[in-house]
């Protein structure tokens, strides 16, 4: 019997979970497989290119990415990275970034242009790879999530001043350190419930 993947609620700016350093995944079991299915489904349904476990309230070192997918002209090809480690980085690459957990906000971020990294796949197999350009940026963005870092933490002071009001508006919907929203695309829509 096949179980349909679940659309997970996404934590947004102001949620304490986004600032926690995630814990290593220890068990590569059916529970992990379900988490991976649900996270992948949520990433695609929310039109993201990546999603880290703490963005959906799970304190685990894993994320899923798919930089090439679009509903119109490509098939899904997700890459799941469990217990990733960025081992080296070089060069500089600057591009505008956004995030499902910081809805409606985009800013330029400088990151390494080329990285060397390792991770485990859902079967527990270890991989050592290199990436550059856009793929390297996406991996670094998601890896930062696992360390409690958001892209807005890496932008210039001037850029931060420009978005400070929007960040406060998003954060104002947090209750008891939690900020979970179904309407992640419009920070002006009040939180349900």
Set 75, 94, 97, 142: catalytic member: 142
Active site includes 45? no
Percentages of the chain per state (helix, strand, coil), in multiples of 5: 30, 30, 40
Q: Collect contacts of 26-29 with beta carbons under 8 A, ≥24 apart.
A: 28/82, 28/120, 28/122, 28/123, 28/124
Distance CA 186, CA 181 (A): 10
* The residue to which tokens 């960025």 are assigned: 86
CB atoms within 10 A of CB 44: 18
Return the active site residues: 142
């Amino acid at each position: 019997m096949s179980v349909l993947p679940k659309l997970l609620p996404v934590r947004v700016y102001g949620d304490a979970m986004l600032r926690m350093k995630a814990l290593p995944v220890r068990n590569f079991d059916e529970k992990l497989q379900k988490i991976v299915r649900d996270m992948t489904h949520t990433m695609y349904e929310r039109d993201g290119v990546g999603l880290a476990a703490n963005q959906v309230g799970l304190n685990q070192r894993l994320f899923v990415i798919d930089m090439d997918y679009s509903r119109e002209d490509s098939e899904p090809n997700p890459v799941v990275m469990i217990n990733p480690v960025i081992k080296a980085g070089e060069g500089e690459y600057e591009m505008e970034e956004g995030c499902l957990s910081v809805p409606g906000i985009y800013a330029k971020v400088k990151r390494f242009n080329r990285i060397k990294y390792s991770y485990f796949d859902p079967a527990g197999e270890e991989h050592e790879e290199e990436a550059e350009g856009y793929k390297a940026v996406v991996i670094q963005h998601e890896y930062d999530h696992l360390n409690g870092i958001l892209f807005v933490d890496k932008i210039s002071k001037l850029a931060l001043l420009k978005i400070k009001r929007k960040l406060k508006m998003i954060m104002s919907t947090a209750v008891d350190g939690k900020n979970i929203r179904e309407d992640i695309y419009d920070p002006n829509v009040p939180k349900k419930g």
